[in-house]
Structure 1
Amino acid sequence: MTNSKMSLWSLVSDMPPGRFSDLFEEFPHDLRCFLGDWLEAQPWEFISNISDSFCAVLAARLLSAMVEMLHDLANKNGSPGPILQLTANLENRYRREPLKLVEAVKRILREERAAIQEKFQHVPLFVHRQREELMFEFNLQRLQYRVQEIQALQERLEMNNSNTRVSLQLKMLDPQFPMQEKLHTSSLQNLQTLFLNTISELEEAKKAVLARLMIWKRQQQLAGNGTPFDEDLSPLQKRFERLVDICFQLRLQLVASGAELQSSLQERLDSVANALIKNSFLVDKQPPQVLKTQTKFQATVRFLLGPQLLKHPHTSFMVTADIVTEKQARELATSSSGGVFCESSGEIVNNTAPLETNATSNACCALFKSMLLKKIKRCDRKSTESVTEEKCAVLFSATVCLGPNKINFHLQALSLPIVVIVHGNQDNNAKATILWDNAFAAANRIPFVVAERVSWDDMCETLNQKFMAEVQTTKGLLKEHYFFLAQKIFGDSGASPEEFQKRPVSWSQFNKEILPGRGFTFWQWFEGVLDLTKKYLKEYWSDRLIIGFISKQYVFSCLSTAPVGTFLLRFSDSEIGGISIAYVTCFQDGSTQVENIQPFTAKQLSMRSLADCVLDLLQLQILYPDRPKHEAFKRHCNAEAPRKSNYVPAKLKITVDLPSTFPAQSIQPQVDSMSNPNMNLGMHSDPPYDPSLMITPPRHMSPSGNTVYGSPQLQSEVTYSYSLGNASPLGQMDPYPMPPDVDMSDICMQNENTPMYATDLHMLPNQIVMPEMISPPSDEELALLLHSEQDLNRYSQDPA
């Protein structure tokens, strides 16, 4: 319903006809159907003042346009008779009183909006946008009509002046000739009143266009958090151009009116023009909001009124970029003089660009293609603030000469807040500062003041939008996700979702306070999940294979009564950037238990995909609640054919550690790589599911979440060939050289928080694998060996 191409008619046409049966006595329902979207695209709502001549003129124009449109439809229709009859009835009824037609259409559109609101519980966004556009268009047409009225009245005054001069001459010849002074005085008063009303309407139109510009800027800032944003400035540019054009027309009429009116109205008219000119200079493409020193960046500044005011040929005006602190930005915003900025708080290389108009796009821009922040002067901070909480901005400025009198205008545009960092480890906290500022900044604020506390609902909306934008998915967070996130950020597992909705969340809770029992803040943990998901888990999340943001208690409630082998995927709440698998296992005595596999991080998922990991683990059979894992993950498994190489192929495989005290029959048998053709594709075909085989370590999880993790291992299924002619059992054997693209330091990690990986050597027919240990021969055996090659095999492991 947010599509700008939608209309009320497209929504109400599906409703039962009886819903609006009492609305079409004065305006037939068939006409509503014929006119469709066109009817609601006209400013009926704003035609209200019967005494205003403009409203009467506009109503007559709309009636004429409606009749013309219906005639066109009749000509295109194979049976034009019914349409022409309706058109004739419409003309006969409203030709003399077009304002009554306006009232009839307004009632229909009002009831349609009410029906849509009742159906969807709110008025669609496109309705609000369309209404705002129609209101501006109506006000603009009224201003143009006022200018024509002023011009007509000016002409009558000039005619009256001529008549007055003639009558004065006749009066001198004939004292009895009547004078026209009263008529002249009355016309002059009417002209002054008309000027005052028109300038007042112009000031209101200026406020409307500046408000629309402020909305655009706010949407641009929210886009920094991932909110969809229509960045096209062409509609706004047209509004600025049309208002400035009316300003110039009024100024000409004011000058023509004489000195009697100029002194009282000129200042107000100049104020409107100056505000439009200065506000039309803005940052079109923002610089990065997290800006690292010694790194190149780009930005674009646009002058909306440039194509209209800087006519070719003109002097090439230069725009300059300077870095300013929050204090300097505040001083510039609150300064009434609008003085020229003269002190930069850093050094930007390549900080000038010409202001040029593109003939194709009709956009006047300055493009900064390769700026670089060489250094920054830090300002004084509060004792509790870190360097990543310090905000600054880029100030773009230019001086242009406008008009035949070459009047100088100093133009300034401030970028969105920027956090300057000098090292990559500051990036995470800098992003938190920008995310908070973008989400919760108020319109027209003092730079860069932002609320310290916000509602939890607003925070949820921000996190959801950021998640969808970063992961590039249309599947957002769900209610149960928000509940878990609230428990985490507030450190409270006892409150209800309704209670969390009433709580405000502070900046400190978001990214200053360390979470209980952890070594990181809420944002650091959440951003770790974002990074992991967008790099390795996007498709799984979009297919809803990952439940994600849930607590261990929620996992237990889901799996405690589920069949053996049922599993689900959740983001680790104890590790940054980890995803864990919880599953139901069965012990030899028939009891079941929920186990949590140690989280997989980006390091493991970069070596083996999540789908392949899930398919590797034979303990996992059913994705919660009831989806077979092969059906759920088959399209995500690694199906790439092996690349040609001089090396013997090796493949990584995930297993879960089992204690050595378990009987051999309790461990799942592995599938022979030669008997399973899918092994070459990184896929595994699990044997038929048998609960008796789902034996795992007796490590228990209680509802409180105390879990001992099973440790996944990454195994390498490798085939190595040796030649006896190149190896002697008497001397020291050189280790078999590993392929250069296999780094064993990355594979064999011995850390309690990281899965351990092992390497298994699997034999193929007619291949000999050297033993792990060879006993040294005695002196007697050595003598025999030197004279006989027959007994060499005594000291090699029998492959059988």
Structure 2
Amino acid sequence: MSLWSIVSHMPPEEFSGLFAEFPRSLRCLLADWLENQPWEFINGSDAFCTSMASGMLSAMLEKLRSAASSDGQQCQILQQVSGIENAYRRDPLRLVAVLKAILEGEKAAVLKRDRHLPLSFHRRQEELKFSLGLQRLQHRVREIQALRDNPAAASRQLNVQDLQLKATETKPPESELPTLILEAVKELEVAKQQVLKRIQIWKRQQQLAGNGALFEENLAPLQKRCESLVEVYFQLHQQVMAASAELGAELLPRLLERFNEVLSSLVKSSFLVEKQPPQVLKTQTKFQASARFLLGPQLLKASAKPYMVRADMVTEKQARELALSAYSNALSESTGEIMHNVVALETNPTSGTCCANFKNVLLKKIKRCERKGSESVTEEKCAVLFSTTVALTPSNLSVHLQVLSLPIVVIVHGNQDNNAKATVLWDNAFSEIDRVPFVVAERVPWEKMCDTLNLKFMAEVQTTKGLLKEHYFFLAQKIFNDHSASLEDFQSRSVSWAQFNKEILPGRGFTFWQWFDGVLDLTKRCLKSYWSDRLIIGFISKQYVCKLLSTEPDGTFLLRFSDSEIGGVTIAHVIRGKDGSSQVENIQPFSAKDLSIRSLGDRIRDLGQLRNLYPNTPKDQAFGSHYNTEEQTGKDGRGYVSTAIKMTVESERDQQAQRAVGGPPEAPQAQMLSLPVLQPELHPESLRSVLSPICPPGPFCPQPLPTGYPTGENINMMVSDNLGSSFPSTSPVLSPSLVMDPTLPRCQDLAFRNPLPFMPNQYMTEASSEPQDEEMPELAPFTSMVDPPLQSSPRWMAPSMDLPPSSDFEQFLQEVSLEGPALCPPFTPPLQRSGYPSPNPSCWGLGESRWDDSVRPGHA
């Protein structure tokens, strides 16, 4: 974005007085071209500055005449062009001063309004400054050459100001030639610093790209800048060596020392990690990386044996020692065993690059350091050190090159990945340029944290719709555990690393980052299109949802991320209570596993009680494009009857109505699964003795589930017959006769209606094949405190499905029977997860217990 594109939309009166000597209309015609000239960096009145100003004036007049030929006001423009030529032809430096004042005034006005200038404007200005410095250096070399060839003629052309610049030296040279050389060396060192700064900026942008920031990876412009400066360096060095007699025995060594420092720092800084290793690196996992030597094509002589680059793992302490020695010392010992870690440094004549590409590297094992205090292995940072020794052309100087990768967290198990990503995210976001490896702030402003979370969210989800200030407000309340502060109060606060990913959230079993990362994963996998269409509010509390929906019509709903489950999204909707008052119900959260079975859009379509997306958009209008239109009925091409999965939600009111007429609940799946596993061949008569200690005679314990969500949520398998009719089944594992013969009587005994066979591995948590070592106790906190977020139904199925011995099971039934029939209404299934409140049907209206996200949706 150009400066003029912003200025042109601002009131002209803000720039009154700026265009007294240069018409605003011509500024508009020149627009971007004017900003691409180094007006602001031409300082002084020497021959170089005068020459540059004269050339820029000629280019501007030509540009204006070309624009006038295609403009309707040609005469007026040509008159203005003629006036500028007459005013500034004899004094082009005056034009430079006028345009510099105009640009400074425009920048000040934009800064006053927006508090910042476009990043592209800063980048362009930096490029102009370096380009002008390089041209000045080339001009200096020509002046030195001319002074050596014809001292008398060159002396008359030198500006007096040039001869006075050395007045601050303790021992000024006795002739003009040493003065010119010293000034040229100064300008060379300034240009070198610009190159080094640009390299550091590139490295910092590469690190921010690890969090999702935009990054211009192309190193070609930076390589061209390095090569141009080194070319001028050799030209200037040649002139110094040729004038060694005039420089004297005292000045020459000092100049050569400064020259060597310039070349050494340029060469060492131009050795970069172009492709970074993974910042979360698992042992026994292959990875790729590449190191690039920007000056390689220019400085490396052809040798019979190629130079080899080695990759070694180093600790934070080792990295710090290498940085303090300016990477001049060789590594004493690698902290990990890396295989295939030596490759050739090869120059590609076609692309003009010199790279060492590591394509098949394997970190076999890692040697851990002593950790400080409560620091875990996922907070320990290390890096890959790439190193080689090369001989430069033409001096044949041997130089040792070393460069560190970005910080890496090494893990040995997938369960450590979440916490390792938190360490990397924090380091990438809040580290400083030229820091001591790998020091990073322990506390950062909340505003910076908001920017980081937004950047990460948009990059992971691959969306252009970021977080809003309302989302930041909810996240601030969550991470600071403060529901009384205002949005403005949070903006002045700082957040610590401990609050981010060490301290467990109050009443939960996980940290803020673990919860946020679960939201990221769910949205990325299942909700990207819904979020991009702004159909999900997401980051909003239950209490605020209740406030929003309490005055809305029946059937109004919204979507939010679960507070108490990692990686869950729930639907909050308005229903009408028995007394006619509005009540807000929250359907139990859906995980990524649930939404892979049936999409969120189709689940919303299934639920007739959902009518309008908050505030007042009909659900078919909002979600119509997300419905699955491929569901078929009738028989398919192979003669099979088509099936479709449908979701239903059974509210407390529906259950009460069913109990009133003595009918069974429609979806008894969860209640059934809390009993011993039943085989299909069991008949109702054989179950009486088993069920009697738990339930009194009558319907099968038709009480609500012990959660704060509407109960009975299930996914029914709809099976269509040839006539297009369908009937629900609570389990897809049914005998063909039960499905296909509608003449069979429907059994009223729910245990018989749901004959689920015992399949030991169907719901068993998959055993990890990942290696275990001494670090395994340091898993993410939530892995041992709450159930895995993607655990599939049935709701009360334990990770292990092995049946207890018969004697133990009989003892369990005897203990339960001691309480008698009174246990049935508040009965809690024996495999209920810990940490959730007991059922309290009276609180399912607007009470506190209904706010607890507990039971995951069950699936058929």
If the length of structure 2 is used for normalisation, what is the TM-score?
0.75
Aligned to 1:493: 483
The superposition leaves residues 476-531 of structure 1 with CA deviations (integer Å, 9 ceiling, x where unpaired) of 11112111111211222222222222222111111111111111111111101110
> Partners in 2 of 1:455 and 1:32 — Cα distance?
41
2:566 counterpart of 1:576: yes
Q: Is the 8 A contact 1:712 1:755 kept in 2?
A: no
Q: Is the 8 A contact 2:211 2:452 kept in 1?
A: yes
One-letter amino acid of the counterpart of residue 31, structure 2: G
Look up the SS of the partner of 1:408 in the other structure. strand
Which residue among 295, 314, 319 is the counterpart of 2:309?
319
2:119 counterpart of 1:125: yes
Aligned to 1:28: 23
The alpha-carbon distance between structure 1 residues 735 and 124, as it changes in their structure 2 partners (threshold 3 A), is closer
Equivalent pairs counted in the alignment come to: 691
> Partners in 1 of 2:494 and 2:270 — Cα distance?
37
Look up the SS of the partner of 2:587 in the other structure. strand
Aligned to 1:653: 646
Look up the SS of the partner of 1:600 in the other structure. coil
> Partners in 2 of 1:136 and 1:665 — Cα distance?
85
Q: Taking every aligned residue pair, what percent have the same amino acid on both sides?
A: 58
> Partners in 2 of 1:70 and 1:580 — Cα distance?
62
Aligned to 1:135: 129
Aligned to 2:718: 717
2:540 counterpart of 1:550: yes
Aligned to 1:166: none
The alpha-carbon distance between structure 1 residues 597 and 217, as it changes in their structure 2 partners (threshold 3 A), is same
Which residue among 433, 436, 441 is the counterpart of 1:446?
436
Equivalent positions of 1:643-722 (< 5 A) are 647-659=640-652, 660-662=655-657, 707-719=708-720, 722=737
Which residue among 772, 775, 796 is the counterpart of 1:750?
796
One-letter amino acid of the counterpart of residue 309, structure 1: L
Which residue among 57, 62, 66 is the counterpart of 2:51?
57
One-letter amino acid of the counterpart of residue 57, structure 1: S
The superposition leaves residues 273-322 of structure 1 with CA deviations (integer Å, 9 ceiling, x where unpaired) of 11001000010110100011111111111111112212557752221111
Aligned to 1:212: 198
Q: Is the 8 A contact 1:711 1:756 kept in 2?
A: no
Q: Is the 8 A contact 2:559 2:572 kept in 1?
A: yes
Look up the SS of the partner of 1:409 in the other structure. strand
2:148 counterpart of 1:154: yes
Aligned to 2:228: 242
2:101 counterpart of 1:111: no
2:276 counterpart of 1:286: yes
Q: CA RMSD in A?
A: 3.4
The alpha-carbon distance between structure 1 residues 97 and 698, as it changes in their structure 2 partners (threshold 3 A), is farther
Q: Is the 8 A contact 1:390 1:419 kept in 2?
A: yes
The alpha-carbon distance between structure 1 residues 655 and 36, as it changes in their structure 2 partners (threshold 3 A), is same
The alpha-carbon distance between structure 1 residues 646 and 283, as it changes in their structure 2 partners (threshold 3 A), is farther
> Partners in 1 of 2:703 and 2:119 — Cα distance?
56
Aligned to 1:169: none
Greater alpha carbon shift after TM alignment, 24-33 vs 524-533: 24-33
Q: Is the 8 A contact 1:594 1:700 kept in 2?
A: no
Look up the SS of the partner of 1:247 in the other structure. helix
Q: Is the 8 A contact 1:453 1:504 kept in 2?
A: yes
Q: Is the 8 A contact 1:597 1:711 kept in 2?
A: no
> Partners in 2 of 1:345 and 1:338 — Cα distance?
19
Q: Is the 8 A contact 1:317 1:399 kept in 2?
A: yes
The superposition leaves residues 74-130 of structure 1 with CA deviations (integer Å, 9 ceiling, x where unpaired) of 667799665554444333221211111112222222233334345544322222222
> Partners in 2 of 1:560 and 1:698 — Cα distance?
27
Greater alpha carbon shift after TM alignment, 338-347 vs 409-418: 338-347
> Partners in 2 of 1:550 and 1:57 — Cα distance?
63
Look up the SS of the partner of 1:244 in the other structure. helix
The superposition leaves residues 60-86 of structure 1 with CA deviations (integer Å, 9 ceiling, x where unpaired) of 121122233345456677996655544
Greater alpha carbon shift after TM alignment, 231-240 vs 635-644: 635-644
One-letter amino acid of the counterpart of residue 336, structure 2: G
One-letter amino acid of the counterpart of residue 716, structure 2: Q
Following superposition, the deviation at residue 614 of structure 1 comes to 1.0
Following superposition, the deviation at residue 633 of structure 1 comes to 0.5
One-letter amino acid of the counterpart of residue 715, structure 1: N
2:87 counterpart of 1:97: no
Q: Is the 8 A contact 2:146 2:154 kept in 1?
A: no
2:251 counterpart of 1:257: no
Look up the SS of the partner of 1:369 in the other structure. strand
Aligned to 1:189: 175
Q: Is the 8 A contact 1:584 1:593 kept in 2?
A: yes
If the length of structure 1 is used for normalisation, what is the TM-score?
0.80
Aligned to 1:602: 592
Q: Is the 8 A contact 2:230 2:263 kept in 1?
A: yes
The alpha-carbon distance between structure 1 residues 23 and 488, as it changes in their structure 2 partners (threshold 3 A), is closer
Aligned to 2:329: 339
Which residue among 310, 319, 322 is the counterpart of 2:300?
310
Aligned to 1:435: 425
Aligned to 1:796: none
The alpha-carbon distance between structure 1 residues 24 and 488, as it changes in their structure 2 partners (threshold 3 A), is closer
> Partners in 1 of 2:327 and 2:208 — Cα distance?
30
One-letter amino acid of the counterpart of residue 657, structure 1: E
One-letter amino acid of the counterpart of residue 598, structure 2: R
Following superposition, the deviation at residue 438 of structure 1 comes to 0.7
Greater alpha carbon shift after TM alignment, 265-274 vs 125-134: 125-134
Q: Is the 8 A contact 2:479 2:499 kept in 1?
A: yes
The alpha-carbon distance between structure 1 residues 89 and 653, as it changes in their structure 2 partners (threshold 3 A), is same
Q: Is the 8 A contact 2:793 2:856 kept in 1?
A: no
One-letter amino acid of the counterpart of residue 275, structure 1: S
Equivalent positions of 1:762-781 (< 5 A) are none
The superposition leaves residues 728-782 of structure 1 with CA deviations (integer Å, 9 ceiling, x where unpaired) of xxxxx999999x9x979955443664446476xxxxxxxxxxxxxxxxxxxxxxx
Q: Is the 8 A contact 2:345 2:354 kept in 1?
A: yes
Look up the SS of the partner of 2:525 in the other structure. helix
> Partners in 1 of 2:304 and 2:147 — Cα distance?
37
The superposition leaves residues 584-609 of structure 1 with CA deviations (integer Å, 9 ceiling, x where unpaired) of 11023212211111111112111000
Q: Is the 8 A contact 1:484 1:550 kept in 2?
A: yes
2:350 counterpart of 1:360: yes
Q: Is the 8 A contact 1:291 1:420 kept in 2?
A: yes
Aligned to 1:177: none
Larger RCO of the pair (alpha carbons < 8 Å, separation 6+): 2
Following superposition, the deviation at residue 220 of structure 1 comes to 0.6
Which protein shows a greater Rg?
1
Structure 1 unmatched ranges of 5 or more: 1-5, 162-184, 671-696, 728-732, 760-800
Q: Is the 8 A contact 1:237 1:304 kept in 2?
A: yes
Following superposition, the deviation at residue 404 of structure 1 comes to 2.9
Q: Is the 8 A contact 2:292 2:355 kept in 1?
A: yes
Structure 2 unmatched ranges of 5 or more: 156-170, 667-701, 722-735, 745-751, 765-791, 798-831, 833-853
Aligned to 1:418: 408
Look up the SS of the partner of 1:446 in the other structure. coil
One-letter amino acid of the counterpart of residue 750, structure 1: W
One-letter amino acid of the counterpart of residue 37, structure 2: Q
Aligned to 2:822: none
Following superposition, the deviation at residue 719 of structure 1 comes to 4.3
Greater alpha carbon shift after TM alignment, 581-590 vs 490-499: 490-499
Q: Is the 8 A contact 1:711 1:755 kept in 2?
A: no
The alpha-carbon distance between structure 1 residues 699 and 216, as it changes in their structure 2 partners (threshold 3 A), is farther
One-letter amino acid of the counterpart of residue 712, structure 1: E
Q: Is the 8 A contact 2:611 2:618 kept in 1?
A: yes
